[in-house]
Amino acid sequence: MPIWDFLYERSVGCVGILRDWLMRAVITSLKNDRHRLTRRTIEQTALSVSQCEKIVAEAREGEMRLAETEQGRNRLRRLLNLEGSLSANHTEQPGEPAAPPSPAKTRTPGLRSPRRDPVGRTQVAYA
């Protein structure tokens, strides 16, 4: 379409807005007994510039609210009563060696651990 930039501009790049807008344009054309979708109809049914500006501003504000910051994570840790701040817990101090990984437990496949089954008689409790 030669008017792709107008479509992008007034839909703010949102496919849902574009779909709704084109549906309004098609319905308007059909109500006026026109069987073609014209540029004039598309322009008449487009969102206004101020509506598009508001959508962009709200989208940017929402993205900023969802951005994860260290300050927000520290506040969350305080609300959950977790000890210390995130930066204190997750950064290694220079000169301190990292804890060595625990050795992997090797077991022979198919051998059961004797601690899995209870020893002696078991009683079934009915509720």
Q: Are 86 and 73 in contact (CB under 8 A)?
A: yes
How much is the average pLDDT of 74-87? 79
Q: Are 27 and 33 in contact (CB under 8 A)?
A: no
CA atoms of 19 and 5, how far apart (whole Å): 15
List, for residues 63-78, the tens digit of each pLDDT value: 888 888 888 888 888 9
pLDDT given at position 111: 77
CA atoms of 11 and 24, how far apart (whole Å): 13
The better pLDDT of the pair 123, 2 is held by: 2
pLDDT given at position 66: 82
* Average pLDDT value over all residues in the chain: 82
Contacts 24+ apart (CB under 8 A), 30-36: none
The lowest-confidence range among 19-28, 52-61, 83-92 is: 83-92
Label residue 98 by pLDDT band (50, 70, 90): low
pLDDT given at position 92: 47
Query: With 90 as the cut, is the pLDDT of residue 19 above it?
Result: yes
Query: With 70 as the cut, is the pLDDT of residue 5 above it?
Result: yes
Tell me, yes or no, if the pTM score tops 0.85: no
CA atoms of 59 and 11, how far apart (whole Å): 13
Q: Are 77 and 88 in contact (CB under 8 A)?
A: no
By percentage, how much of the chain surpasses pLDDT 90? 43
